């Protein structure tokens, strides 16, 4: 008996932030982007000059703005979860809406960035660096939209009083997914805007 | 009063501005690649541990997230240093 209890506690220590379902999704996203980053690495290995000069035509200010929007939005979700742990639903809702507002800033900045790029001839056919850049960043944008849908769902549920200090796994699940998209962008930004 | 979340946000914002500065001023080279990889690991750890709380999570979750945060910049460094070898071994698959 004690042996099986020991094995059980060893194999399942710690907690699951959010819920197990969201982690299945997060594992899939991590594997997907690991593959996409390998596309970047292989393309870079075959075209070192294109990747060395590629960042020169991108708007660093746009990449920096997106990064700041995402890390600040992520901070907002940390505060939302903290507030829910105090059972302060009104403050939780405010922080979720704060995070969503900043999160929606990402597609807005991206829209103007792409418009600026295209006006200067930097479209998906401008070269291998830009093909990979558009493929990865737009793919990431799709995941951000899913995250925003999740945040919207938790905002509605928080407004309806569905979460409490004792049970807010759904809110945590949306938050950890949102932080995952953040981590992935924290890699995309240096790979395309900084590394030469 | 600056709490833990605020300190992490300040570090993330500061490292982002460092990245922007490097993007505008840094030259191609190994030092830039190592700096970029180090910043990725540091920022990834700040978000994973400070915001996602994976330090207290089950081992599978910890290993998956932390493994991703370490693997991607490590592969980037390998690619940066040994890109010619990567190209040589993947050429057959691409042509």
Q: Quick: pLDDT tens for A36-78.
A: 999 999 999 999 999 999 999 999 999 999 999 999 999 999 9
| pLDDT per residue as tens digits for the range B9-48 | 999 999 999 999 999 999 999 999 999 999 999 999 999 9
Looking at every residue in chain A, the average pLDDT score rounds to 93
pLDDT at residue A120 above 50? yes
Task: State CA A56 to chain mean position distance.
Answer: 25
| pLDDT per residue as tens digits for the range B43-88 | 999 999 999 999 999 999 999 999 999 999 999 999 999 999 999 9
> pTM here?
0.93
- In A44-103, the residues whose Cβ lies within 8 Å of chain B are 44-46, 48, 52, 55, 60-61, 63-64, 67-68, 71-72, 74-75, 77-79, 82
B35 to chain A: nearest residue by CA?
Answer: A195
**A49 C-beta neighbours (distance < 10 Å), count:** 8
Question: Considering only CA atoms, which of B20, B53, B62 is closest in space to residue B39?
Answer: B20
Six-digit token pair at B2? 């600056």
* CB A193 within 8 Å of CB B66: no
CB pair distance less than 8 Å for B84 and A45: yes
- B91 pLDDT band, cuts 50/70/90, is confident
Six-digit token pair at B76? 């980037």
- pLDDT in the model for residue A109: 98
Sign of the CA dihedral running A121, A69, B41, A12: negative
From the CA of B4, how many Å to the nearest CA of chain A? 10
Rounded Cα distance, A123 and A94, in Å: 38
- pLDDT in the model for residue B45: 97
The size of the A-B interface in CB pairs under 8 A is: 146
B78 to chain A: nearest residue by CA?
Answer: A41
């Amino acid at each position: 008996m004690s042996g099986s209890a020991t094995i059980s506690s060893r194999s399942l220590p710690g907690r699951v932030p959010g819920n197990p379902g969201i982690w299945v999704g997060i594992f899939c996203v991590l594997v997907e982007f690991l593959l996409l980053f390998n596309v970047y690495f292989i393309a870079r290995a075959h075209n070192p000059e294109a990747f060395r000069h590629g960042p020169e035509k991108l708007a660093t200010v746009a990449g920096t703005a997106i990064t700041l929007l995402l890390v600040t939005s992520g901070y907002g979700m940390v505060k939302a979860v903290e507030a829910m742990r105090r059972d302060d639903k009104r403050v939780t809702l405010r922080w979720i809406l704060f995070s969503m507002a900043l999160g929606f800033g990402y597609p807005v900045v991206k829209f103007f960035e792409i418009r600026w790029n295209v006006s200067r001839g930097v479209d998906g056919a401008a070269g291998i660096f830009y093909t990979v850049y558009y493929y990865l960043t737009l793919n990431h944008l799709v995941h951000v939209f899913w995250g925003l849908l999740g945040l919207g769902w938790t905002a509605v549920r928080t407004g309806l009083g569905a979460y409490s200090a004792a049970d807010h796994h759904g809110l945590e699940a949306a938050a950890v997914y949102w932080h995952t998209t953040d981590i992935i962008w924290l890699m995309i930004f240096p790979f395309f805007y900084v590394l030469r | 009063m600056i709490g833990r979340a605020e300190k992490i946000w300040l570090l993330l914002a500061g490292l982002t501005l460092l990245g922007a500065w490097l993007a505008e001023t840094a030259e191609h080279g190994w030092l830039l690649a190592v700096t970029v990889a180090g910043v990725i690991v540091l920022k990834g750890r700040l978000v994973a541990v400070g915001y996602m709380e994976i330090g207290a999570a089950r081992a599978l979750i910890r290993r998956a997230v932390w493994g991703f945060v370490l693997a991607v910049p490590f592969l980037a460094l390998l690619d940066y240093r040994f890109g010619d070898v990567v190209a040589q071994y993947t050429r057959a698959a691409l042509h």
